[in-house]
Amino acid sequence: MKSIVQRVTEARVDIEGTTVGRCGPGVLILVCAMQGDTDQNAEALASRIARLRIFRDEAGRMNRSLLDTGGAALVVSQFTLAADTSRGNRPGFSDAAAPDVGARLYEHFTACLRDQGVTVETGQFGADMQVHLVNDGPVTIPIDR
């Protein structure tokens, strides 16, 4: 699975003008299931992100995790993370998992993140979404698992 983790002060996702998910201080996670990904990949990614030390400690250093801070996560499916731009000007997405597999792994990933103790809200798999965020720092971390 591929992901982009952005530390945020706030984030929300809208579908057709209606907010379907939001979080306060924490992370916005864009996530994509790739061909060959399994439940174990989703579990490992959730564990890694929950423990990723990207929040400031008392000394101002990035030394605290979502679990340490009680931060929340907004998880948004984004198959375009699978983009292959090695040929021509139009990206290819054939490395992304099939939609049924992608949806299942997306749901499994969010459940695993909740199981880690993180408050999670989501977008809607496969929907045309508008994502709004205030990137804190800015801190943006790509993670593949």
Domain holding 112, by residue range, is 2-138
143 falls within a domain: no
Active-site annotation, residues: 78-80
Give tens-digit pLDDT for 65-88: 999 999 999 999 999 999 999 998
| Pairing, β 119-122 against β 130-144 | unpaired
As a whole number, mean pLDDT of residues 3-24 equals 98
CATH code at position 39: 3.50.80.10
Q: Is the pLDDT of residue 112 over 90?
A: yes
Location of structure tokens 């990904």:
37
Give tens-digit pLDDT for 127-144: 999 999 999 999 999 999
Q: Is the pLDDT of residue 106 over 90?
A: yes
> 3-state DSSP call for residue 123?
coil
Q: Which residues lie across from 134 on neighbouring strands? A: 10
Q: If we measure between CA atoms, which residue out of 66, 104, 98 comes closest to residue 82? A: 98
Number of domain units in the chain: 1
Give tens-digit pLDDT for 8-18: 999 999 999 99
145 falls within a domain: no
47 falls within a domain: yes
